[in-house]
Amino acid sequence: MKKHTLAVTVENRPGVLTRVTTMFRRRGYNIESLAVGATENPAISRITIEVAGDDRIIEQVTKQLYKLVEVIKINDLTDARSVDRELVLIKVKADNSVRAEIVQIVDIFRARIVDIGRDSLIIEVTGDSRKIEAIEDSLRAFGIIEMVRTGKIAMIRGGK
Amino acid sequence: MKLKGAEILLQCLQKEGVDTVFGYPGGAVLPIYDALYKSEIRHILSRHEQGAAHAADGYARATGRVGVCIATSGPGATNLVTGIATAYMDSIPLVCFTGQVGTPLIGRDAFQEADITGITLPITKHNYLVEKTEDLARIVKEAFYIARTNRPGPVVVDLPKDVMEKEIDFEYPEEAINIRGYRVVKGYNSNQVITAVDYIQKARRPVIYAGGGVISSNAAEELRELAEKRKIPVTTTLMGMGGFPGNSYLSLGMLGMHGTRYANYAIGECDLLIAIGVRFDDRVTGKIDTFAPHARVIHIDIDAAEIGKNVEVEVPIVGQVKEVLAAINQRLEAIELEELSEWHETIDRWKEEYPLRYGDSSEGRIMPQHVIEEVYSLTQGEAIICTEVGQNQMWAAQYYQYKHPRSFLSSGGLGTMGYGFPAAIGAKIACPELPVIDIAGDGSIQMNIQELGTAVQYRLPIIICILNNHFLGMVRQWQGLFYGGRYSFTDMSHQPDFVKIAEAYGAVGRRIKEASQVREALEEALKVKDRPVVLDFWVEREADVYPMVPPGGSLMNMLGGD
């Protein structure tokens, strides 16, 4: 099933995120990723939700979200010309024998090493899902100890 | 003017035109009850908070106005939950005020603290926790607005005790409501109306499938006009009962699981289905891909999320049912319409062949359907009929012809046993001039029988007809049909003496065991003007509700009634 990215503009009030996630749980839709944060207007927050589903499911999700009183606007950023990014931290096993190789991979993906331990490195990567998946694949052979993702955020290109 | 939060609350209620509230006092709502003591607002004291919620719901269904109830924090608030969920499933406008512990105590597991906004999140249209007395008036105004506009529904307003006690300088906020994320639906897509009229003109076998939206939109008149103009047969859902006169030659009665054969056959054969204020519930459609298989579908509803939720439709129209129907009617005015005589002949043949009918008692008892027929014969549709849930509810839907909107009050979506009697209390308070009759079962009536105290206290002449089969009849019926006749815990033979219970509360009680006495007992009950009457009809123990579409089956394959 195709993944959709919905940018949901909501009132910045306590409990709004619960209302949104409760709707997903209650109607049986699955959230693939979720990112919440302030916008340029302090009274408004933006929830970026990635959800898998066919067009009919996404239409239902959108309509049900609109029924929430504190939801102001929903943009489906999937087909729109949009920029999306996610930030990931990956802790990977790295003894002296493989460090050089890992550094090379980090360079290729324009990622950064943000911490060096005795037998491990923490790598910070920013990018779209494909880039994140690609670096994850490349690093897997060395042994990923821990990985954390922020959830995707997205924005429409141009003046809109 | 300096006012306490509780006084502001009551002033806001009066601004909303509230004259009656249903409630039950407690520690956290003491400030509100202190303000009520000297208020003009009428407070009806229930005997359980669930009773207050259902009574407010019955009041709302009978009048179309917003029903209001009050409960204290903790258990008071949680006791409202079934009532709120009932109203939510049937889109009934309610505003429920719950007490809450003082704001400094919230989150500390204080005495009688419950997170009622959290608990009611999925069963309210919206809810609020009022954190500052300064926000109270705006929130109450918004709560009523949200409850009654668009698709109506319940709103909970949680009121911490200190917010009610605090005194502030108060002036009522006269400015218009502005909620960024909530807009009232105005107008409709007129191109879709043109397409709909075109489909209606071309259809040879149209059927109207009308639901609760017709009633909440006050569109019964427009529906009748549409049906009569094009001579389209109309079937209603349980929630739509009374939205179209049941005694009209165009009425097909109810459709679905316990609908009439002719309504379900009409759905199966129609080439155009005009779905008005409905949500294609599973009890209506049966197996969804065999529902109206030959039909194009026009779906009119105020809630865009209902369109396309369960079935794909050709012509979706989002708007107020009343407005959209008026637009369709106006457009039809100018159009030449051919007779649909072939379709009407087919339907008349089905009606003749498969009328609603029931057999004689095998044990010389009263047939439950007969009681409903007598209630109809004596009231002729000029009464408010409430029901509990189960067999009593289905027989009340089948054997009574509802002529007016808001004359049939029943928990359709949630199917709440114990709904009917407290709802009847709300209805009787709203409409004292009409007979109000609760059709009950011996199981359901015991779920809120304590409200006899309320009905006696306020001298409400409600008639409770218990169709007493000493069984949880509908569950027993399913056990008989689908679980090899193993009547697991559905035998209710161990029951109280309902006559004595009625008398103990100060109501009239009477037991009727002979079919010949049914009419006379009802006639006598209708003469009582100052207290409730409990009629304990001992009916055929194992009468089943027919016809019936087995769960998950197609509407064309019905059991019984052939």
Strands (E), B110-205: 126-129, 154-160, 167-169
CATH of the domain at A124: 3.30.70.1150
Q: A18 vs B125: CB contact, 8 Å cut-off? A: no
- Alpha-carbon dihedral sign for residues B139, B143, B145, B146: positive
Q: Could you list the residue range(s) of the whole structural domain that residue A38 is in?
A: 3-76
Q: B305 vs A60: CB contact, 8 Å cut-off? A: yes
Contacts with B202 (C-beta within 8 Å, 6 or more apart), sequence order: B272
d(CA B225, CA B207): 14
DSSP assignment of B391-422 = HHHHHHHHSS---STTSEE---SS--TT-HHH
d(CA B477, CA B462): 29
Q: Domain end: A53, A76, A99, which one?
A: A76
Residues of chain B with pLDDT under 70: none
Q: Clarify whether residues A92 and A140 are in a common domain.
A: yes
Interface ipTM: 0.88
Q: Clarify whether residues A125 and A92 are in a common domain.
A: yes
What burial letters (b/e) apply to B398-425, b meaning 16+ CB within 10 Å? Answer: bbbbbbbbbbbbbbbbbbbbbbbbbbbb
Q: Clarify whether residues A104 and A61 are in a common domain.
A: no
Amino acid (1-letter code) at residue B44:
I
Q: B146 vs A69: CB contact, 8 Å cut-off? A: yes
d(CA A31, CA A29): 7
Q: What is the pLDDT of residue A2?
A: 85
B304 and chain A: CB distance < 8 Å anywhere? yes
Q: Clarify whether residues A72 and A46 are in a common domain.
A: yes
Q: Domain end: A30, A60, A76, which one?
A: A76
- Quick one: average pLDDT of A118-126? 96
pTM score of the predicted model = 0.95
Q: B181 vs A60: CB contact, 8 Å cut-off? A: no
Whether cis (ω within 30° of 0) applies to the bond prior to B547 is: yes
- Rounded alpha-carbon distances, angstroms, from residue B479 to A65, B393, B455, B483: 40, 18, 35, 4
Residue-range domain boundaries for chain B: 2-169, 190-353, 368-538
CA B154 to chain CA centroid, nearest Å? 13
Q: B126 vs A71: CB contact, 8 Å cut-off? A: no
Q: What is the pLDDT of residue A160?
A: 60
The string of pLDDT tens digits covering residues A74-108 is 999 987 788 999 999 999 999 999 999 999 999 99
Query: In this structure, what DSSP letter does residue B539 have?
Result: B
Nearest chain B residue (CA) to A10: B181
Whether the CB-CB separation of B118 and A18 falls below 8 Å is answered with: yes
Burial of B290 (0-12, 13-18, 19+ CB in 10 A): middle
B120 and chain A: CB distance < 8 Å anywhere? no
CA B190 to chain CA centroid, nearest Å? 31
B-chain residues near A68 (CB < 8 A): 181
A59 and chain B: CB distance < 8 Å anywhere? yes
Q: Domain end: A54, A76, A98, which one?
A: A76
Q: Clarify whether residues A41 and A70 are in a common domain.
A: yes
Q: List the single residue in A15, A59, A71 with the smallest CB-CB distance to B181.
A: A71
Nearest chain B residue (CA) to A66: B181
> Which CATH number is associated with domain B190-353?
3.40.50.1220
CATH assignment of B368-538, given 3.30.70.2190, 2.60.40.3880, 1.10.443.10, 3.40.50.970? 3.40.50.970
Please give the torsion angle defined by the CA atoms of residues B17, B18, B19 and B25, in that order, rounded to the nearest 10 degrees.
Answer: -160
Strands (E), B290-445: 296-301, 315-318, 384-387, 408-409, 436-441
Which residues of B are designated catalytic? Answer: 49, 111-112, 161, 474
- Strands A82-93 and A144-149, bridge-based pairing: antiparallel
Distance from B182 to chain A by nearest Cα, in Å? 5
B-chain residues near A63 (CB < 8 A): 304-305
d(CA B401, CA B407): 10
Distance from A60 to chain B by nearest Cα, in Å? 6
Q: A56 vs B308: CB contact, 8 Å cut-off? A: yes
Distance from A13 to chain B by nearest Cα, in Å? 11
Q: Identical fold at B2-169 and B190-353?
A: yes
Count how many domains chain A has.
2
Q: Clarify whether residues A151 and A105 are in a common domain.
A: yes
Q: Clarify whether residues A60 and A114 are in a common domain.
A: no
The string of pLDDT tens digits covering residues B276-300 is 999 999 999 999 999 999 999 999 9
Q: Clarify whether residues A66 and A89 are in a common domain.
A: no
Q: Clarify whether residues A34 and A99 are in a common domain.
A: no
Q: Clarify whether residues A65 and A110 are in a common domain.
A: no
Q: List the single residue in A18, A56, A63 with the smallest CB-CB distance to B121.
A: A18
Number of other residues whose CB lies within 10 A of the CB of residue B255: 30
> Which CATH number is associated with domain B2-169?
3.40.50.970
d(CA B251, CA B243): 11
Q: List the single residue in B181, B305, B309 with the smallest CB-CB distance to A11.
A: B181
Q: List the single residue in B182, B308, B309 with the smallest CB-CB distance to A69.
A: B182
